Structures are given as C-alpha cells and as structure tokens.
Chain A
Amino acid sequence: MINQYDILETIRMIQNDCLDIRTITMGISLLDCIDPDIEKACKKVYDKITCKAKDLVSVGVQIEKELGIPIINKRISVTPIAMISAACKCSPVPFAKAMDEAAKAVGVNLIGGYSALVQKGFSEGDLDLINSIPEALACTERVCSSVNIGSTKTGINLDACRIMGDIIKKTAEATKDKQCFGAAKLVVFCNAVDDNPFMAGAFHGVGEPDCMINVGVSGPGVVRAALKKYPDADITKIADVIKTISYKITRVGQLVGKMASERLGVEFGIVDLSLAPTPAVGDSVAHILEEIGLEQCGTHGTTACLALLNDAVKKGGVMACSRIGGLSGAFIPVSEDAGMIDAAVAGTLSIEKLEAMTAVCSVGLDMIVVPGDTEPDTIAAIIADEAAIGMVNTKTTAVRVIPAIGMKEGDELDWGGLFGKGPVMPLKTKSASKFINRGGQIPAPLHSLKN
C-alpha cells in the first residue's frame, strides 16, 4: 500500500494548502470556419466550439471527484479571431457574440482568442478586430481578448503599442458601469505563446492541432507551507524544497491532463508549470516571497527571491510531465493575490518594482489598476517598456492594466471571485507621447555580443 504519510501529505496539500488544478483548457482551431458571409462563419464557429467542448465541463467535474482535487476552471481557447474574421471584411463583433454564446452553452466561464497577432504589422482584418475590442468586451460576458505587439524575432510594433493604449482606455470606459471589467479581459503580449491555457491571454495558435487539451496547475499555498518547515535553511535548500514540491504539483497536472484527453478523445498538449495565485487566504505568490525572508513583497530583494522561485518551479516541474509549455512560471497578478494587494496598498509594491519582477517571472504587468485619467499614450508607453523586457530577454511579457475610470490613487476596483480587487496604483505623470507617436517598428535586438 502507498505510504500513509504520503497519503496524508497529499490530502493536506489539497485540504489545507489550496492545491488545485487551475484550469483545463481546450484549444480549438477555427481555421475551417472561415467564410466571407459573417453569419455563416459565426454559425460555424458556434457549432464547432459546442461540438468539440460539449463534454469538457462534465469530464472535468468527474475527474475532480475521482481524484479528490478541485479543478477550478474549464475553459476554451480558439484560433485568433482576426484570422477567421478577415474574410468577412466587416466588424468582427458577431464572432465575439458567437464565442460568448458557445461558452455559455457548454458551461465554461471564459473563452479566449478574440485576438490579433500584429508584431510586425497589421492586415485589414487585424485592425478591424483591434478597433472592435471595446465593443466586443462590453457586449459579451465570457470572451477574452489579446493582441501580440512584439517578439524577439520581429521587434516591437510601436504603432500597435499606441493603438492598444487607446483601446485599453476605451475598453475600460465602455465597461465603467461594471468596474471597468472589460480591461481585465484584455492582454497585450510580447512573444505570445500558442498553447497558453491561462486567461485572459489564451488563444489557440495556428501551428497547433485541430483540438487539444492544455492544463495549468497551481499551488502557491503548497509551496509556502513546504517552506514554512525550513525557517533557517540556506537559500540552496530553499530552492531544493521548491523543486520537490513543484514536481509533486506538476505530476497531478500531468495526470489530470492525461485523463481528460483520454476521456474527451482529444490530444493532450502541454502542462503549464505555473504558480497561479488567487485572492483566497493561503494562495499567494507574494506570501511565498515573504516566507523566503522579505518583510513585505515589493521591498528590495523581491526580484532575487522571485527569480529563484520561478527557476525552481520550472526545474521541479520539467521532469514531472511529458511536455511543458504555455507561460510556465510564477504569476504576479496584483489584484488576484492577497499578499500583492496588501503590498500595493501599503505602498511597498510599486509599478516600477513590478516591472523589474516581470524580467524574471512568468509573464508581466498583470491586473494592475491605474488612475482613470491616465493618458492612452502613457498606457502605450507602459506596454512598450514591458514588451522591451520580453523582446530583449526572449521571454513572454504582457500588460493587463485596468484604467479605473473616474477614480484616482486611494480608490479601489473590486471584481470579486478569482479576479479579486486592486488599489489604484500611481504612475509617472510626465508624458511619453512624442516617443509613442513616432510610430514604426522597434528593430529586433541583436542576440550576440550579450552584456
């Protein structure tokens, strides 16, 4: 029989330390739904999603009960809609509505892929989609949108940064009666990945198979609980403890993904080796960093601790699953992490520190509430800064900031649930308009002569 201490450890991880599978995401290709008639195309999109994902939620619930581990989200990602809608030559908002309806029909809480990839320039379809984002996110509930504006190989599309600064502001304004929630479902990427299972940035890349299952694991609470047992260990030991626990967490992700793919008859893609926090007590990445030895997340030393955490999570997880992918690493969304929220309210965690942290962690400036009167060009400049970190370091970075329309520093947006709440964080007030409005392409960086 399995060792009883191992059994009790697993149970403790799930019952006390918030171990869960964060998401099973089904990626669905919509390339076979292209049609110049938008009504026909939307019907094909709805039909394909509801056909492929009809059992996704029930299979997820069944696995959850059999293994005794919560699977928090069942979600869907689709081919970037700009590629599907381009043939229609009109506003692609009906596609967002079709996605929303399909998501409701199969019972998933979010569907990603209202996206465009414009790292090197725009096609007409891309521009139509980008310009429709504020309306699409305001008139749907479950649709998530993302735009890739740069990559290490292509450089950064500065025109796209400028446009997205404007679109983020407009999206927040279009949903200001819902706590500007639209902007929380919109991500701007550099080096976006094709197989990301996490929202709001998930889309199903064009090189992917017709349909596949990707899994995102979680478990910040488990890592923190493991570290608690070693209050005086040196930092090498801390890295080892994180690796061990990350291995165990990821093994469960691999098992769940394998079971889901077998039962759904869909190919198993990747496990995203992630530490994804929630606002729940005991499920915070910031608290892991504090357990390592910081008085509060955001103080000096935070970047080093996060670098160690991120690296150890990957090293532990990489052996635990057959294929890794997605964003893989520790997420630092401010509003979705109790420790980050406290640190931001206390003023210990600033946007500048968050930017530095994004150079060594999973993604980027995530779920940050900024003043409502922030100029679109300032948001564009934040995007450009973040994209530059991703471009130069050959990693994915992203920006998901939420302008709190009508609010200023000291106020707060509160969405509840997994999205949490966030204080308005101050930004620099000097303008970057001239830089942003120059437009053009920041050339791809040199990858030799490194220093």
Chain B
Amino acid sequence: MRAIVTVIGKDAVGILAKVSTECANYNANVIEVTQSVIEELFAMIMLVDISKINIDFADMADRLAKKGEQEWGLKVLAMHEDIFNCMHHI
C-alpha cells in the first residue's frame, strides 16, 4: 500500500526534513521524492509506503494536514495512491 504526500507552500529551509521525519514517526517509508521551487513556491511530491504504518492512514493524513497548516505553514495532502491510479490509468 502506497500513498502520495503532496506538500505545497512558501520555500524554507528543512521542509523535506520535517515532512520525512513526521512520516518516519508513523513508520511510513519514503520511496521517492520529486520537488521543485517555482518563484519561491515550494512543491514536493513524495511516494510513501504505508503498509507498515503504526496508525490508521486516515489519521496519518489528518495529522499531516494539521501539522502542515498549524506548525509549518504548508499545505500537506496525504492521499492513497489508488485515487491517482484509478483516475489516470485504464
């Protein structure tokens, strides 16, 4: 089971570290990362293995979103990869 974590916000030092540390707290393994900075806007997409996470994935998505909004000032969306696969693959 894998999920896509998307992080969007103003560029700052340590975003990747913060998000991946948080993922590690839930025992979610980061498999792949792509990131770009366009005109100070930071956009990162992470592919994360969630098969061994230590909480419910819905809770993890909730906590990441809350942490992103309240502590980091970033929009963090964790979504199961199925929604992207179903929409873009036949």
> Which residues of chain A come closer than 8 Å to B43, judged between CB atoms?
8
- Nearest chain B residue, comparing its CB with the CB of A5: B88
Determine the chain B residues whose CB is within 8 A of the CB of A248 once the complex forms.
87-88
Chain B: number of interface residues, binned into ranges: 20 to 34
Q: A1-B47, A2-B4, A66-B80 are in contact. Are A255 and B86 (CB under 8 A)?
A: yes
Tell me which residues across on chain B come within 8 A of A61, comparing CB atoms. 58
The yes or no answer to A449 lying at the interface (CB within 8 A) is: no
When the two chains form their complex, are residues B84 and A66 in contact, meaning their CB atoms are under 8 A apart? Answer: no
B61, CB-defined interface residue at 8 Å: yes
Tell me the smallest distance from the CB of A8 to a CB of chain B, in Å.
Answer: 8
B88 engages A67 (CB within 8 Å): no
Within 8 Å by CB of B86, from A4, A68, A252, lies A252
Contact indicator B88/A6 (Cβ below 8 Å): yes
Q: Are A255 and B4 in contact (CB under 8 A)?
A: no
Contacting residues, chain B, for A300 (C-beta < 8 A): none
Alpha-carbon gap, A8 to B88, bound state (A): 12
- Check A448 for interface membership: any CB of B closer than 8 A: no
Provide the residues of chain A in CB contact with B45, threshold 8 Å.
1, 4, 7-8
Contact with A along B52-63 (1 / 0, CB 8 A): 000011110110
Q: How far is the CA of A276 from the CA of B40 in the complex (A)?
A: 37
The winner among A2, A6, A254 for most chain B CB atoms within 10 A is A2
Task: Decide: B62 and A251 in contact? CB cutoff 8 A.
Answer: no
On whether the beta carbons of B80 and A10 are closer than 8 Å, the reply is: no
Determine whether B12 belongs to the interface, using a CB cutoff of 8 Å to chain A. no
Please give, as numbers and ranges, the residues of chain A lying within 8 Å of B70 by CB-CB distance.
none
How far apart sit A2 and B59, CA to CA, in the bound complex (Å)?
24
B84's partner among A2, A65, A254 (CB-CB below 8 A) is A2
On chain B, the residues within 8 Å of A2 by CB distance are 4, 47, 81, 84-85, 88
User: Does B83 belong to the interface (CB within 8 Å)?
Assistant: yes
- Known interface pairs A67-B83, A68-B78; 16 further A-B residue pairs with C-beta atoms within 8 A, sorted by A's residue number: A1-B32, A3-B88, A6-B84, A7-B84, A9-B88, A11-B6, A11-B77, A65-B61, A66-B57, A67-B82, A68-B77, A68-B80, A252-B83, A252-B87, A254-B86, A255-B86
